[in-house]
């Protein structure tokens, strides 16, 4: 049986691919577990500096598998597939995405709805194919964004715009997403993975410990007062001054050459 989340590593970039194309990559119990496991595996690998998350086929992720849930066998069902009561929310993909220090890029290859939209939004960056879309259809299904949407969307969009999107359950095309700032760029469907990889390589060329520390400080700064955050950043800066990468960064600047960072 094929993995429902494929893992591929090329250089300093790990690519995770949701692999249920016949079901529009809807989330099953095995996929939920595998995605968390693969994200944590990539984050622990010191050679991985960027993670790309994408989907196989015409959809990125159409949300939870409602077919399985309605039959009582999937997530949210009452049968052997494992209902919400059996989930450890500390180890689900949205929580993992928010907690890991390795930068994440969502290569949005098609529709992302419900849970799939939340996963896309909790990646650090999003490169969207022209044919992609985001569907905040929670209220149309009688639920709330159960996987981080009510936390991340007001921070990305502001209260009023997030309210309009969530309360109406509206679907947005790629260009609308770009206008609102939900995606970093929109590219042709054919060039999506090349564009995502180009961005990943640009990030991976920088000092990985500094990139990871920058992400960690941004995350912590969301809930801190300015003075507290400045103190924390200063404490983070001290160990970076002692790294080989800091020495390499300074030397390459003075010698007018490209740096070669080792993550040490």
Q: Residue 25: helix, strand or coil by DSSP?
A: coil
Q: Residue 21: helix, strand or coil by DSSP?
A: helix
Low-confidence ranges of the chain (pLDDT < 50): 73, 77-82, 84-85
Tokens of 104: 């994440």
**Among 35, 57, 47, 56, which Cα is nearest to 10's?**
47
Q: Residue 133: helix, strand or coil by DSSP?
A: strand
Backbone conformation region of residue 103, classed left if phi is above 0, alpha if psi is from -120 to 50, else beta: beta
CA dihedral 148, 17, 157, 168 (to 10 degrees): -70
The pLDDT score that the predictor gives to residue 83 is 52
At the topology level, CATH places domain 5-204 in 2-enoyl-CoA Hydratase; Chain A, domain 1 (3.90.226)
- What sign does the CA torsion over 210, 213, 219, 224 have? negative
pLDDT digits (tens, 9 = 90+) for 134-175: 999 888 888 888 788 899 999 999 999 999 999 999 999 999
In the chain, the N- to C-terminal Cα span, in Å, equals 39
Give the helix ranges, DSSP H, for the chain. Answer: 29-44, 66-70, 93-99, 115-122, 149-157, 159-168, 174-180, 192-204, 208-221, 226-241, 244-254
CB 145 within 8 Å of CB 153: yes
The pLDDT score that the predictor gives to residue 144 is 83
The pLDDT score that the predictor gives to residue 76 is 53
CB 69 within 8 Å of CB 76: yes
**Among 89, 102, 93, 127, which Cα is nearest to 25's?**
93
The pLDDT score that the predictor gives to residue 90 is 66
> How buried is 91 (Cβ within 10 angstroms: 0-12 exposed, 13-18 middle, 19+ buried)?
middle
| Residue owning tokens 């496991």 | 37
CB 213 within 8 Å of CB 224: no
Q: What is the pTM of this model?
A: 0.90
Q: What are phi and psi of 79, to 5 degrees?
A: -95, -150
* Secondary structure letter of residue 141 according to DSSP: G
- Note the maximum CA span of the chain: 65
The pLDDT score that the predictor gives to residue 72 is 52
The pLDDT score that the predictor gives to residue 255 is 95
pLDDT digits (tens, 9 = 90+) for 111-122: 999 999 999 999
The pLDDT score that the predictor gives to residue 78 is 45
């Amino acid at each position: 049986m094929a993995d429902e989340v494929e893992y591929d590593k090329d250089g300093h970039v790990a690519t995770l691919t949701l692999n249920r194309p016949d079901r529009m990559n809807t989330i099953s119990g095995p996929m939920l577990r595998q995605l968390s496991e693969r994200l944590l595996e990539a984050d622990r690998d010191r050679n991985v500096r960027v993670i790309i998350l994408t989907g196989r086929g015409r959809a990125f992720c159409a949300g939870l598998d409602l077919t399985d849930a309605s039959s009582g066998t999937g997530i949210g069902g009452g049968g052997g597939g494992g209902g919400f009561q059996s989930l450890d929310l500390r180890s689900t993909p949205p929580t993992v995405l928010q907690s890991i220090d390795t930068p994440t890029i969502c290569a949005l290859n098609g529709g992302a709805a419900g849970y799939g939209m939340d996963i896309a939004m909790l990646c650090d960056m999003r490169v969207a194919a022209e044919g992609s879309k985001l569907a905040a259809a929670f209220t149309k299904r009688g639920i709330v964004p159960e996987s981080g949407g009510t936390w991340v969307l007001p921070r990305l969009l502001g209260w009023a715009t997030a309210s309009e999107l969530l309360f109406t359950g509206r679907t947005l095309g790629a260009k609308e997403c770009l206008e609102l700032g939900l995606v970093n760029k929109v590219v042709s469907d054919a060039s999506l993975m090349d564009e995502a990889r180009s961005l990943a390589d640009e990030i991976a060329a920088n000092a990985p410990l500094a990139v990871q520390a920058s992400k960690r400080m941004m995350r912590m700064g969301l809930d801190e007062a300015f003075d507290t955050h400045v103190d924390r950043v200063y404490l983070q800066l001290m160990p970076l001054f002692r790294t080989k990468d800091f020495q390499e960064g300074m030397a390459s600047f003075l010698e007018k050459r490209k740096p070669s960072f080792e993550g040490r």
